[in-house]
Amino acid sequence: TQTVSQSDAHVTVFEGDSVELRCNYSYGGSIYLSWYIQHHGHGLQFLLKYYSGNPVVQGVNGFEAEFSKSDSSFHLRKASVHWSDSAVYFCAVSPNSNNRIFFGDGTQLVVKP
């Protein structure tokens, strides 16, 4: 069974802090990895993706994520958060061998002023 684990349900930081949201997956084959953001009351929006090449990928609004095959991880980072980054963040895995996309349960990020 493929799984996507976001170990932190809630993360609270102050504006200007750095943040890392963790994502681990269990799948051994070739996969697509991505992150999405959901502001309260809205749909999910794409942040960034990885399939191959440079393990550090840049996304919108200063977000980046790093793929680690050895750790089966794809953690999302931002060097300096803004209050508008407060949202729920979802990690997603799509195995190349099937048509499914698996989402983690999400991490609620709260940025305090």
Partner 1 sequence: EAAVTQSPRSKVAVTGGKVTLSCHQTNNHDYMYWYRQDTGHGLRLIHYSYVADSTEKGDIPDGYKASRPSQENFSLILELASLSQTAVYFCASSDRAEVFFGKGTRLTVV
CA dist 17 to 28, 41, 77, Å?
34, 25, 11
The residue to which tokens 């002023």 are assigned:
113
Of 36 and 63, CB closest to partner 1:
36
Q: Which of 19, 94, 109, 111 binds partner 1 (CB under 8 A)?
A: 94
Q: Are 109 and 86 in contact (CB under 8 A)?
A: yes
Size of the site for partner 1 (CB under 8 A): 21
Task: Point out which span in 14-22, 54-62, 75-83, 102-110 binds partner 1 (CB under 8 A).
Answer: 102-110
24 binds partner 1 (CB under 8 A): no
Residues 31 to 50 in contact with partner 1, rule: CB under 8 A: 32, 34, 36, 42-46, 49
CA–chain centroid gap for 25, Å, is: 11
Smallest Cα–Cα separation from 46: which of 3, 76, 80?
76
90 binds partner 1 (CB under 8 A): yes
Smallest Cα–Cα separation from 107: which of 69, 50, 63?
63
The binding site for partner 1 (CB under 8 A) comprises 32, 34, 36, 42-46, 49, 51, 90, 92, 94, 96, 99-101, 103-106
